[in-house]
Every structure is written in structure tokens, then in C-alpha cells.
Structure 1
């Protein structure tokens, strides 16, 4: 594991609605090979995600999937009314039948992968509102029998090339009638993208809800669970559209409120 790790205290600060729905946020605060750039990205993205959940009225609670001792699933879900999975390192190829990872693979942590997959399956079994972003969306697919493209190989439109910023604008086409299209209010959306792995074969319990213009899968939803959404892009990226960020995280919190209301 890397010597660098994001300080969790950064995310535990902030005003929040004491009556808002409780939303665990699953993210690895470190991973193998984490460098200064990755460290800063993880810190910024996670902070913005926490702020967005709080702004929408939710109460985010950190679940560190790189912790030496994992928080037991029963504790994670004890009072949870929704759950959020954030981005991070690559998914271990052995989990979807690839033994030899590409040379540009980074941050692989099988222990964290297994923990996150267990939490994803449990959240679906509990029919808990679930939002899975980037690595989270890839793990969602693997959790339900899907596979991944280990490396898209070519730069753009999914990520910046050498010497360029990693994240760039990409237009994504949303499936008519999908929940993500309803949330964003349109079927074409410009997002912040920066990935080199992607969904390949879609898990049997999921359906595709978004694609890039080259056909790469950019979003999925669970077929039978009430509200389980995976998106490959980053609404929590600093330069992402603020209105769309509010729509995405607001939708998770709104859905979580319905769970909270049903329990009282």
C-alpha cells in the first residue's frame, strides 16, 4: 500500500441537516502506487462529493475501503438510507477473468475490491438507493457478473493524453426512459471523463443507460432494484457542471429521503 493517504478529517467537517438521510460514502483513501497527483485528485474529488451530499441535505459518512480493518457491513448499513461508491484505482482483472493487466494499470487493491463488491451486493439485496461513480460503476458491473475492458488503449475522448490534463469534456448519450436521463433532464450530456477502463460485457442484472459516441458504456442501472445507478464519469470533478452535479447527488439524497420516510 502507498505511504500516501488522504486525511479523513477533511471530509468529516461541514454543516449538515441533522434530520437528513444517512449516506455512507465508500472510497479508498489510499491505494498501491498512489502518487502526489492521485493523492490530490482523491482528496479533491472526495471532498466535493461530501460537500454535494451535504448541500443536497444528506449526511455523508466515510467508509474507507483501504482501512487496515474494514467496517463490518452490518455497521455500514445499520442506519443507512442510501449509499455512494466513489472512484479510485483499477479493478483487479482476476475478478473478471483477466490475469495479465495492461502496463498502465494502477492502484489495484484486491482486498478493497472484494470489500466493495460485497457492499454493492448487500446494498442491492437491501434495495438501498445506490450511486456508483467511475471505479464504483465498474465494481457494480463486476459484482453482477459483468466484465471490464482493462484498457481502452487510445486517449480521448475518455481521458487526456501524455502531457495533457487527465480529465476532459466528453459528450455522453443517455438512454430514453433511463433514471439518469430523468435526473439530468436530457438525453445528451457533456461530462467530465478521465478513465482507461470501462464496462465490457454488462452484468445480467444490469442494463446500459449511457454510451459514449464510440460505443463505450458510460452508465448502467440495475434491472429490478428500485434505484441503483452506475456512471463512468465524474460529477464530483472540480470542473464538472455544477448544476448537473447538484442534480445527480440531489437525486441520491432525494431517493434516500423516501427510505428514511418509510422507516418512520
Structure 2
């Protein structure tokens, strides 16, 4: 893994820009440690899949989205704290929100929107999925309440539960099944779906668990954490293989120009 701001990535292709806020303001030491643990799981899986990674800390990026994206073949947006409700036109009504970082929101949303314009493959995990939805004009439920999606009130304990993959979806094709058991810990979810997006998976309580772009764009967001240490590694590998395959196609297309 490389950590950089304005450096040009010099590494074998495909080249993946990984962005996330691992040190959001007012976050507890426990949360920062958990975000570091999960991000390490992402980097390990990407390296296992043969991708080169460039990581940018969204809390203090000090770089321009379009310049970063011009040097990579795909964008992966990590999980993290809650998005500022102002990003999707709401006032904050839930008192359970945490680690809000408007600067990181602005930067990551800019990357997603520019990446979509550039037709780059985009993968979002948990917060990353929610930001994809917001970037396309969608909205969130600020607090979904107790249920199957987290193990305790402060959203610090992951749980396993099944999701139903939508027939004909990209995720259904990737996993070749309609049912998947995933690991999650979230207290928010997609409400209004963004323009040009479709539901790719739901939980048993009908909460949206995955979204993806319609038509030919490779844009996928999963509400769960496939990088969690207790999640099946082969499930994450299948998802990353599809994502990296799409990124490799972008790199090949660029070289042919």
C-alpha cells in the first residue's frame, strides 16, 4: 500500500484509489482502531487480488479529485462515520449520529461524482455505499433503530445476517446465488434511491443492503463489511475480482487510445 496526496502512482495495473476517513474528528480511539483494522482488511484483499493501491485520507486530502482520478483505474470508498445530513438536504434529527466530517464528505462525494463522469469502476463499502447514493441525489434514513443490522446500541458490534440479492443484478451475477450471509454494523440506510441506481440486495426487514448503477456503469455499493475478519474471504474476493476486472478493462481501453 502507498499513502500519498499529490504523488503520481507508479505501480503495476490495475491501479485502485482507496479513500476513507480513518481519523474523523471527535471519533473515539476505539473507532479509529476499528476503521484501521477494516481498512487493513481491504488493502490485504486488494493486494491478494493483484491490484496496486493508492490511499488518501479523506479527513485531510490536500489534493484535487480529478487529478487523483486521472492516475487510477478504479475508486474504492471505505466505511466510516456518518455523512452530514446537509449533504442530502436534511437537518440532523437523530441523536445517535457520530464522527460527522463535512470536509471528508465533500471530498469523497466529489471523487464519486467525478469518477462517474470519467466512467471509472466505483465500489463503496458501508459509508461508501451511502455516499454513492447521496452523490446521485439520494437520501438516507438517519436512524433505522434496533434490528438485525448491528449488535448493540452504539453500533460497535458486527453481526451476521442474510441478504437477498436481486435477480438480474450485477451482484447476483458475481455471486451466482440469490442468498448471501453478510457481516454488518450500521444504524443508517438508504431511503430515497439516487438517480440511475437500482437496489441490488435487501435484508429480511427490507432495508436496502446493496445498490448499483443501471445500464453499463460499474458502480456498486454494499452496506455490509465484506472485509471484516469474520466475513468469508472468498465472498470479498469474488466482489473484488469483478471490480478489479472492470478496472483492468478501463486501463486497457486507456492504453489503446
- Asked whether the two chains share a fold, i.e. TM above 0.5, the reply is yes
Shift of 1:98: 2.2
Confirm whether residue 236 of structure 1 aligns to residue 227 of structure 2.
Answer: yes
Counterpart for residue 2 of structure 2: 12
Structure 2: distance between partners of 1:113 and 1:82: 19
Structure 2: distance between partners of 1:220 and 1:70: 30
Structure 2: distance between partners of 1:164 and 1:137: 17
Structure 2: distance between partners of 1:166 and 1:239: 12
Contact conserved, 2:79 with 2:128, CA < 8 A, in 1? yes
Structure 2: distance between partners of 1:18 and 1:75: 17
Shift of 1:75: 2.5
Structure 1: distance between partners of 2:93 and 2:189: 14
Corresponding residue to 1:106 among 98, 122, 135: 98
Alpha-carbon displacement from aligned partner over 1:94-146 (angstroms, at most 9, x marks no partner):
12232123111101111111111111011111110110111011011111111
The 4+ residue runs of structure 1 with deviation greater than 4 A are: 162-165
Confirm whether residue 218 of structure 1 aligns to residue 203 of structure 2.
Answer: no
- Counterparts in 2 of 1:163 and 1:30: CA distance versus 1, 3 Å: closer
Counterpart for residue 7 of structure 2: none
- Counterparts in 2 of 1:95 and 1:162: CA distance versus 1, 3 Å: closer
Counterpart for residue 4 of structure 1: none
- Alignment gaps of 5+ in structure 2: 4-9
Structure 1: distance between partners of 2:134 and 2:114: 14
- Alignment gaps of 5+ in structure 1: 1-10
Corresponding residue to 1:257 among 244, 248, 251: 248
- Counterparts in 2 of 1:162 and 1:148: CA distance versus 1, 3 Å: closer
Counterpart for residue 81 of structure 1: 73
Structure 2: distance between partners of 1:164 and 1:76: 32
Contact conserved, 2:13 with 2:51, CA < 8 A, in 1? yes
- Other structure's SS at 2:2 match: coil
Corresponding residue to 2:150 among 137, 147, 159: 159
Counterpart for residue 143 of structure 1: 135
Counterpart for residue 5 of structure 1: none
Contact conserved, 2:24 with 2:100, CA < 8 A, in 1? yes
Corresponding residue to 1:177 among 165, 168, 178: 168
Shift of 1:18: 4.7
Shift of 1:29: 2.1
Confirm whether residue 62 of structure 1 aligns to residue 55 of structure 2.
Answer: yes
Alpha-carbon displacement from aligned partner over 1:150-178 (angstroms, at most 9, x marks no partner):
01111x31001249961010101000111
Alpha-carbon displacement from aligned partner over 1:64-99 (angstroms, at most 9, x marks no partner):
1101x5321132112211110010000111122321
Shift of 1:221: 0.8
Structure 2: distance between partners of 1:260 and 1:108: 34
- Other structure's SS at 1:244 match: helix
TM-score normalized by structure 2? 0.92
Confirm whether residue 29 of structure 1 aligns to residue 29 of structure 2.
Answer: no
